[in-house]
Amino acid sequence: MLSMTPTEKKTIDATRALAMDAVQAAKSGHPGTPVALSPITYLLYNERMKYDPNRPNWQGRDRFVLSIGHASTLIYATLHVAGVKSLDADGNPVDRPAVSMDDLKSFRQLGSRCAGHPEYGRVDGVEMTTGPLGAGVATSVGFAMANNWLASRYNKPGYDLFASNVYALCGDGCSMEGISSEAASLAGHLKLSNLCWIYDLNRITIEGDTELAFTESVPDRFKAYGWKVVEVDDVNDLPALRRAFDEFEATTDRPTLIVVKSKIAYGCPTKEGKESAHGAPLGDEEIAGAKKFYGMDPDAKFACDDEVYRQYADNLGVRGPKLSAEWDAKFASYRAEYPELAKELDAIFSGALPEGWDAGLVPFPADEKGMASRASSGKVLNQLAEGLPWLVGGSADLAPSNNTWLKSETAGEFGPGKAGRNIHFGVRENAMGAITNGLVLSGLRGYCATFFVFADYLRPMIRLAALMEIPTTFVFTHDSIGVGEDGPTHQPVEHLASLRAIPNLLVFRPADANEVSESYKAAMKATKNPSAIVLTRQNLPTLDREKFAPAGNVAKGAYVLADADGDPDVILIGTGSEVGLCLKAADALAAEGIKARVVSAPCWELFAKQSPEYRESVLPKRIKARVGVELGVELGWGKIVGDSGRFLGMTGFGDSAPAAKLMEHFGFTVERVVALAKETIAESE
């Protein structure tokens, strides 16, 4: 080992041994990278980061993101030896380690804190669920942006409350994934000097040497993005690593990429497909040999010398609490001098909404012509922004179409040297989703937007938001074949079904402007659910709420919008633009003496959470004649309309023509709904 003191070597090697033992006990995992990169986490946590192990949620902390999540034992072992504490449900520290030795022993087992990849909310000290390669580094851009935004609004002379750095550890796989390129490009443009990616250049992937598929110069690529690039020839050269981190901290005009060369531990995959330490346990014999090489007892498992714990306790354990106590004292003085701003920060830190946050939401008057729900969405966002100062977001180069621009003179834009509330994400949907998750994980209420058909590009980040239980808001416009002339490539048909398949995601498809407003209200109140708000390009009539049920029922997911006297003969159920079609069909049926109930179902997930009694009041089991109408595929509707019901939707892709022509061509007409209603009535008798 190069340039390590005996204590440093012992501490780093202990982390390596714990990582190897955890993988071996699980008979599953990736030991190579944790063994190779332990010097990096040692330096970051023990010497560099502003981090209090007793308070891993301290708001003034630096953040570390393990983008190479398969190397999870690296963060688990580091949190263990660093003495990081657990938090209770209220975020207060408790006398239990975030990762105990027993937790390491149960790595990858059912119910273990130490899952195969780091999971946000399962282990205190894990800043995010990294999941797919590249997601971590992309989200780290959101963390860095959030710190700069918070600093811009809340830092005052003498009160640098927000001056944190963000570190992300990545590898060749992260670098190959397109999301990292999207995020790095934007980070370079924004000159995020508080962002440091540490790139493990080990030249190994699952199939073999990276030369098989990856021969570009990553340092040159990042220089082209506008990053500072520092190269370290050996990960075990601690003085060289320290100098690299010094260069990052001295750089004030761009993000930094530190390229660190390492060797994947103990072999590599062969062209014949033989597994190695990269993706499989080492085996007892090889672990014993490694421990002997490190000067450790080769037969001891899950052993850690007291000197290792003392090394962290004497450094991080002293420095971290001192820094957080100083920050607390500063914030106490800040509270006395800037009470209103401190009150906002309390809400941000706790995930609460400020008092009167929805006071600016004004009901829309009835209007037969109405407006596109993408247009009413823009009005609602601006109304919300007045009462929710930390509502921050933007579109993937589509703000004029998505109507996501916050128009207040004080909103401003986020750019190099500017930290306004409007973000230009560029045409980078996947990174946009990750970055917005980073904003939300930092306490901001982040939103992002694009056309609905492009939900495919950011679906992995929607899934991660749902998995992490964070309230990211995803806004989608141009929601159906109503897009018209753009044709089937831009006409989403399967997307509603695919998003509804994601657990914990609230999918809203509002029927008019007031349902749009109520959808946003429900999304803002959801603290553990991300939301997708799906909006039209075409105009929708604003319903007369004196005649129809109140739009506030959106909070229940589905509700009786218009009813007949007595038991209905048929129930017509629609979402979004098709609710208006159901109302017209109900009138046509009434003219023939057929009683129809119209149900608006903007959010299936919220409806599923209602009591059985409420759900029965909306969709009584005794009424089997039902028609579902939606400009999408049928998947999922069978549970709503039942065996006797009918569904009017899409069975294939759309076509290129004016929207009205497409509606007629695909059968979205009053006549077709009426015919289906009569069919289901006949079958259910």
Contact indicator for 442, 452 with CB cutoff of 8 Å: no
Say how far apart CA 652 and CA 308 lie, in whole Å.
62
Tokens of 401: 């179409």
Exposure pattern of 318-356 as b/e (b: 16+ CB <10 Å)? ebbeebbeebeeebeebeeeeeebbebbebbeeeebeee
**Cα-trace Rg, the chain:** 28
Contact indicator for 512, 554 with CB cutoff of 8 Å: no
Cβ-based neighbours of 123, under 8 Å, separated by 6 or more? 76, 79, 98, 99, 113, 114
Residue 252, judged by CB atoms within 10 A of its CB (0-12, 13-18, 19+), counts as exposed
> For residue 81, which of 299, 349, 309, 415 has the smallest C-alpha distance?
309
> For residue 578, which of 604, 598, 563, 564 has the smallest C-alpha distance?
598
Residue 513, judged by CB atoms within 10 A of its CB (0-12, 13-18, 19+), counts as buried
Tokens of 97: 């380690």
Say how far apart CA 585 and CA 673 lie, in whole Å.
6
User: Terminal CA-to-CA distance of the chain, rounded, Å?
Assistant: 82
Contact indicator for 128, 141 with CB cutoff of 8 Å: no
Other C-beta atoms within 10 Å of 571: how many?
Answer: 28
Say how far apart CA 250 and CA 230 lie, in whole Å.
12
Name the DSSP letter for residue 552: G
Say how far apart CA 123 and CA 542 lie, in whole Å.
47
Instruction: Give yes or no: 605 in active site.
Output: no
Strand partners, 560: 599
Choice among 429, 515, 518, 630 that is catalytic: 429
Tokens of 2: 């190069």
Cβ-based neighbours of 120, under 8 Å, separated by 6 or more? 126, 127, 128, 129, 441, 467, 468, 470
Contact indicator for 84, 97 with CB cutoff of 8 Å: yes
Alpha-carbon dihedral sign for residues 227, 231, 237, 243:
negative
Say how far apart CA 599 and CA 366 lie, in whole Å.
19
Cβ-based neighbours of 133, under 8 Å, separated by 6 or more? 67, 68, 69, 171, 173, 174, 176, 177
Known catalytic residues are 429
